Amino acid sequence: MNIIIFGPPGAGKGTQAKFIANKFNLYQLSTGDLLRNEIKNKTELGSKISSIINSGELVSDKTVSSLIEKFVSSDNYKHKIIFDGYPRTLNQAKNLDELLEKYKQKVSIVLKLSVSLETVKKRILERKTLEKRADDSEEIAIKRYKTYEKSSEPVIDYYKQSNLLKVVNGEAGISEINSEISVLIDTIKGWL
């Protein structure tokens, strides 16, 4: 079972991805975390991408896609990945399908957390005090939300066409969202 979790910044996708990973014994592959680690470790890539991330734009498809192959190709994670924050563009979605096909895998379900811009602004400001992420300011939150809306629309259509998309109400409380997602995953597990 490979799962994609998808949603605007502040939708709670990281929290939900962690919960799903623990509950269903999956590996949480967060491209945002991988990229932040590059910055933290002061790698060459990190120095190239820090201004892009801090301005709320997306890193190039090539950069992100090159980071994920090592996980998709590994037997340790075969059929066991929850993709958190990837794919974010149509190109990335197509690239992921190609990669999964290469390693004889598939996407089982795509969970989309839907949340309003008002909620996103509120949550990001709360998170800023807890995590001190450089890209968590109101102005950048709005920018990231707009970037998400623009780039993710074709991705959503792509997964709608293949009947993999499930929309989850991200406005609900954490445990309510947990339960809704668990039911959806249990249902598809029954079909696999």
Positions touching ligand AMP (CB under 6 A) are 9, 31-32, 35, 52-53, 56-59, 64, 85-86, 88, 92, 135, 144
- Residue 83: name the closest of 75, 91, 93 by CA: 93
C-beta pairs of 121-129 under 8 Å, 24+ apart in sequence: 121/10, 123/10, 123/11, 123/12, 124/9, 124/10, 127/10
Give 54 or 182: the residue with its C-beta nearer to ligand AMP: 54
Query: Phi, psi at residue 8, to the nearest 5°?
Result: -65, 165
Give 55 or 187: the residue with its C-beta nearer to ligand AMP: 55
Q: How far is the CB of 86 from ligand AMP (least distance, A)?
A: 4
Q: How far is the CB of 190 from ligand AMP (least distance, A)?
A: 30
Q: Which residue is nearest to ligand AMP (CB)?
A: 32
Q: How far is the CB of 132 from ligand AMP (least distance, A)?
A: 14
Other Cβ atoms less than 10 A from the Cβ of 183: the count is 9
Give 142 or 192: the residue with its C-beta nearer to ligand AMP: 142
Residue type, 158: Y
Residue type, 174: I
Q: How far is the CB of 42 from ligand AMP (least distance, A)?
A: 17
Give 109 or 145: the residue with its C-beta nearer to ligand AMP: 145
Are 145 and 120 a contacting pair, CB within 8 Å?
Answer: yes
Residue type, 55: S
